[in-house]
Amino acid sequence: MNAIELLDILSTGETSKVQFKEKMPHSESMSREIVAMSNSIGGIILLGVKDVTGIVTGLSHDEVEEYDRVISHIADNLKPPVYLATEVIKIEVSNSFKNVLVVYVNEGINKPYKTAHGEIYIKQASNKRLLTDNAEIMRLFQNSGNLLADEMEVYGTSVEDIDEKRFVEYFKKEFDKTIEEKGLTFEQALRAKRILKNNQLTLAGLLFFGKDPQSIKPAFTIKAVSYFGNDISGINYRSKKDLIGTIPELFEQSIEFLNSNLDSIQIGNNFNIKGKLEVSPIALEELIQNALVHRDYFKNAPIRLLIFDNRIEIISPGKLPNSLTVEDIKYGNPVIRNNQIVAFSIHVLPFSGLGSGIKRALNEEPNIELINDVDGEQFIVKIPRPEKK
């Protein structure tokens, strides 16, 4: 970073990625800030800059050396340790040069990071927030790949909650042999496919092969609404359904809801030929699958499928995982959040599992808008509908 880049940062003020400190704060306060940035999207801490105002007061040479040493000690004592980079930038202020110590904090790859006292913080705008909610803490484990929601056991379930016929058909399709031909019992096959662990169903097993998944996980539905107009707060709608069932059933019901509530465009003059759906069916299939397979199952919330006069919206719980960006997924660079659900989907849904679904959807409908709502912890897809003539 050079002086011009630093001045540009100072002019924009404090954000979730930029913090000003005139002097070295108490060690506990500094450790919380580093932890919060490591658990979020990283950032920089500027020492020698007044809080809020961004006025450069500068640090002496001795202060720079002392602060650098203290910061290194703080980072080594976090759990797990954090590796920081620092540098000094000289800025001319009132005809004299002042030192600003820049502390670079990368987004961590081994979340959650904790203070020496075991506290977990995340950034919330320019402030930080102590995490106490188990679901939020588990999502941090998930972000670093240390915990997978779909492979966790679902408390209170058993082999009795499995639809045996559904699983037997799936097994034959994947292996081209029956369970008996593979020399397994029914329960051995369930364990082999990570559907049964410690005599309880995994979440992936419940959502793919359960008799009634929503009786145990009621939030994992799809709320489908077709509105009059273009306002999500509107109270008038053409159709409204709560879609329930296994993931394959939710997929089929979603496509049926879209087909029933979208227009078809007549091709040619032959009225006996079925019209073409106004939005590419391929794009819709890819995007519904993406929502079901890649959503955050640590968030106890439904997927929302909303049809307006001018657009379709598919809103999935959970922001993109890790440091994945919208540009990454546009070019087919996936980070798999639900490994087991992906594995089952390859054999049941028209799903490649290779990160190419969004690419195919964009090839079919180039004006699709993808929004990674980090603050709202959701991923939004907006598909424009053709203008009515």
Tens digit of each residue's pLDDT (9 = 90 or more) over 188-220 = 999 999 999 999 999 999 999 999 999 999 999
C-beta atoms surrounding 248 within 10 Å: 18
In this structure, is residue 186 part of a structural domain?
Answer: yes
pLDDT at 96 over 80: yes
Q: For the chain, what is the domain count?
A: 3
pLDDT value of position 203: 96
pLDDT value of position 352: 63
pLDDT tens-digit series, residues 165-186: 999 999 999 999 999 999 999 9
Angle at 238 between CA 237 and CA 240, to 5 degrees: 75
Instruction: Among 118, 143, 168, give the residue marking a domain's end.
Output: 143
pLDDT tens-digit series, residues 288-313: 999 999 999 988 899 999 999 999 99
Q: Are residues 372 and 253 in the same domain?
A: yes
CATH code for the domain in which residue 128 is found: 3.30.950.30
In this structure, is residue 292 part of a structural domain?
Answer: yes
All residues at 6 or more sequence positions from 68 whose CB lies less than 8 Å from its CB, including other chains? 86, 101
pLDDT value of position 144: 63
Q: 95 versus 103: which is more confidently predicted?
A: 103
Residue type, 138: M
CATH code for the domain in which residue 349 is found: 3.30.565.60
Name the residue among 259, 310, 296, 278 with its Cα closest to residue 379: 296
pLDDT tens-digit series, residues 35-85: 999 988 899 999 999 988 899 999 999 999 999 999 999 999 999 999 999
Q: Are residues 51 and 114 in the same domain?
A: yes
Q: 242 versus 138: which is more confidently predicted?
A: 242
In this structure, is residue 380 part of a structural domain?
Answer: yes
The average pLDDT across 120-133 equals: 88
Confidence of residue 106 (pLDDT cuts 50, 70, 90): very high
Q: Are residues 212 and 279 in the same domain?
A: no
Q: Are residues 296 and 255 in the same domain?
A: yes
Instruction: Among 185, 216, 247, give the residue marking a domain's end.
Output: 216
In this structure, is residue 330 part of a structural domain?
Answer: yes
Confidence of residue 272 (pLDDT cuts 50, 70, 90): low
In this structure, is residue 257 part of a structural domain?
Answer: yes
pLDDT at 255 over 70: yes
Cβ atoms of 280 and 354 closer than 8 Å = no
Q: Are residues 93 and 235 in the same domain?
A: no
What is the C-alpha separation between 274 and 349, in angstroms, rounded?
A: 25
pLDDT value of position 50: 93
pLDDT value of position 30: 95
Instruction: Among 190, 216, 242, give the residue marking a domain's end.
Output: 216
Average pLDDT, the chain: 90
Q: Are residues 245 and 369 in the same domain?
A: yes
pLDDT value of position 216: 95
* Domain span at 316: 222-384
pLDDT at 29 over 70: yes
Q: Are residues 190 and 156 in the same domain?
A: yes
Q: Are residues 7 and 123 in the same domain?
A: yes
Total-model pTM: 0.71
Q: Are residues 75 and 139 in the same domain?
A: yes
Q: Are residues 287 and 197 in the same domain?
A: no
pLDDT tens-digit series, residues 1-16: 888 889 999 988 999 8
Q: Are residues 126 and 200 in the same domain?
A: no
In this structure, is residue 287 part of a structural domain?
Answer: yes
In this structure, is residue 389 part of a structural domain?
Answer: no
Q: Are residues 99 and 163 in the same domain?
A: no
In this structure, is residue 271 part of a structural domain?
Answer: yes
pLDDT value of position 298: 87
pLDDT at 353 over 70: no
